[in-house]
């Protein structure tokens, strides 16, 4: 992991920028979740907040990806960070009512969708092909892995500040990230010469025509559609079933992040021994089992340990999916494929938030976790069968592309 950071200044800049902004964003998410939960006390309101941040941006995934395949990726990422910082300042200043907050979160989410597609597309242009596993592991540890640090810091910050103060910190991290990204070299892309909408349609068409990519996308979508509900149900499991405090709830959200950090550290060294689609399927299974068992937890510490296991699985999904696509998708289509993929994942998360929120209202958090994990395991099995029947052994090209 550290070798690829030392060896590529461009990747090191991207990694540092993402570490800063994701740390702030994880603080902000916990603050907003607790703010909405206190203001409304309704599981559906928490679900709507997550829906605005994930589902709405997913509707624009095709266009978001097309932006990255048309413009200098450095400029795209810098502008996206500045916009997200400004929107977060507006939230902090106004602490708006729920309808206005949902709009602001949705607009920020669309901007983040553009950034995500562009940053994943930039990776093969910043590191060698044989470094992709380590680079994706390092980036994952610095981004998703900070879900561990962010909630823990949020738990401490709630002792000295409030939601507004944490949102100001979140905004500042976006501006720091933009400053770091501005020092990257230009990352030029091969433009098609077509309109933005034509490029978006072409990206969708490539996924529809390419079976290997399509199976991965559908399987990923299904697993998230079942398991994404943990973001909604976690605060209720912590405070209602397990009788924890705000700090305990924030700590429980950190469990996945702890697992992610451990998982990415392991994969940075050993992921090269796996075929990436196999690693992805293992991740699907482990992350789903983690949620199922969390529903059976009897104490905060037990739920935390099981969410750590879930985080190990998510690390496998992240490295497996991203590395495989970066190798097999043509460079001029890569941002569009990632835009569509993570747009679909946002839609799946939105479906999970709504369905899970309704299930949570009619049952309880334990039932919701068990149902989510069981559904994810079924989706994993179906995806494995589909890959086997397609005759795709998961081989990947190596060397210059």
Could you tell me the sign of the dihedral formed by the alpha carbons of 221, 224, 225, 226, in that order?
positive
Residues of the chain with pLDDT > 70: what percent? 90
Q: What is the mean pLDDT of the chain?
A: 83
Pick the closest to residue 98 from 33, 151, 142, 54 (CA basis). 33
- Most confident of the following: 30-39, 144-153, 210-219: 210-219
What number is the average pLDDT over the span 238-249? 70
The average pLDDT across 173-191 equals 85
Question: What confidence score (pLDDT) does residue 172 get?
Answer: 93
What whole-number distance in Å separates Cα of residue 13 and Cα of residue 17?
A: 6
232 near 47, Cβ under 8 Å?
A: yes
Is the separation of the CB atoms in 399 and 325 below 8 Å? no
Residue bearing the bigger pLDDT, 206 or 238: 206
pLDDT at 393 exceeding the cut of 50: no
What is the model's pTM?
A: 0.78
Q: Which domains does the chain have, with CATH numbers?
A: 2-188+195-390 (1.20.1250.20)
> pLDDT by residue (tens digit) across 12-21?
888 889 888 8
Which pLDDT band holds residue 242 (cuts at 50, 70, 90)? confident
Would the pLDDT of 24 be above 90? no
Closest by CA position to 321, among listed 232, 388, 196, 221: 221
Residue with tokens 């497996």: 320
Q: Binning pLDDT at 50, 70 and 90, where does residue 377 land?
A: very high
Nearest to 210 by CA among 330, 113, 320: 330
pLDDT tens sequence across 273-331: 778 888 999 999 999 998 898 888 878 778 888 888 988 999 999 899 989 898 888 88
Nearest Cα residue to 306 out of 354, 268, 258, 339: 258
Per-residue pLDDT, 192: 65
Structure tokens, 312: 């190990």
Average pLDDT, stretch 240-257? Answer: 73
Res. 145 pLDDT band, cuts 50 70 90:
low
User: Could you tell me the pLDDT band of residue 394, with boundaries at 50, 70 and 90?
Assistant: very low
Q: Say what the pLDDT of residue 294 is.
A: 85
Most confident by average pLDDT, 118-122, 169-173, 244-248: 169-173
CB contact burial 255-292 (16+ within 10 A = b; e otherwise) = bbbbbbbbbbbebbeebeebebbbbbbbbbbbbbbbbb
pLDDT recorded at residue 173: 92
Task: Please say if the pLDDT value at position 9 is more than 60.
Answer: yes
Give the pLDDT band of residue 356 (cuts 50, 70, 90).
Answer: confident
Q: At a CB cut-off of 8 Å and minimum separation 6, what does 316 contact?
A: 263, 267, 279, 280, 282, 283, 286, 287
């Amino acid at each position: 992991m550290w070798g690829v950071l030392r060896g590529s200044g461009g990747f090191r800049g991207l990694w540092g920028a993402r570490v800063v902004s994701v740390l702030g964003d994880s603080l902000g998410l916990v603050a907003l979740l607790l703010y909405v939960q206190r203001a409304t006390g309704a599981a559906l309101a928490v679900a709507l907040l997550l829906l605005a941040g994930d589902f709405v941006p997913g509707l624009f995934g095709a266009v978001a990806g097309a932006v990255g395949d048309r413009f200098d990726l450095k400029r795209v990422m810098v502008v996206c960070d500045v916009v997200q910082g400004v929107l977060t300042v507006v939230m902090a200043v106004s602490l708006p009512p729920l309808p206005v907050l949902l709009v602001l979160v949705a607009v920020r989410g669309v901007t983040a969708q553009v950034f995500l597609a562009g940053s994943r597309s930039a990776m093969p242009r910043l590191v060698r092909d044989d470094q992709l596993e380590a680079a994706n592991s390092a980036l994952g540890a610095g981004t998703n892995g900070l879900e561990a640090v962010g909630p823990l810091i949020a738990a401490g910050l709630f002792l000295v500040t409030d939601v507004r103060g944490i949102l100001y910190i979140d905004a500042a991290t976006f501006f720091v990230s933009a400053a770091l990204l501005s020092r990257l070299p230009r990352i030029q892309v091969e433009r098609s010469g077509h309109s933005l909408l034509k490029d978006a349609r072409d990206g969708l068409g490539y996924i529809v025509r390419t079976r290997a990519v399509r199976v991965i996308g559908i399987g990923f979508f299904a697993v998230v559609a079942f398991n994404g509900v943990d973001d909604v149900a976690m605060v209720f499991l912590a405070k209602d079933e397990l009788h924890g405090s705000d700090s305990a709830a924030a700590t429980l959200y950190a469990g996945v992040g702890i697992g992610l950090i451990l998982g990415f550290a392991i994969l940075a060294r050993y992921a090269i021994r796996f075929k990436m689609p196999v690693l992805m399927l293992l991740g699907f299974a482990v992350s789903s089992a983690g949620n199922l068992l969390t529903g059976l937890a009897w104490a905060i510490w037990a739920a935390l340990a099981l969410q750590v296991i879930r985080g190990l699985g998510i690390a496998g999904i992240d490295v497996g999916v991203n590395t495989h696509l970066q190798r097999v998708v043509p460079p001029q289509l890569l941002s569009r494929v990632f835009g569509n993929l993570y747009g679909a994942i946002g839609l799946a998360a939105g479906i999970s938030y709504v369905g899970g929120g309704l299930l949570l209202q009619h049952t309880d958090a334990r039932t919701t976790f068990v149902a989510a994990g069981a559904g994810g395991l079924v989706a994993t099995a179906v995806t494995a069968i589909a890959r086997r029947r397609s005759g795709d052994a998961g081989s990947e090209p190596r060397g210059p592309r």
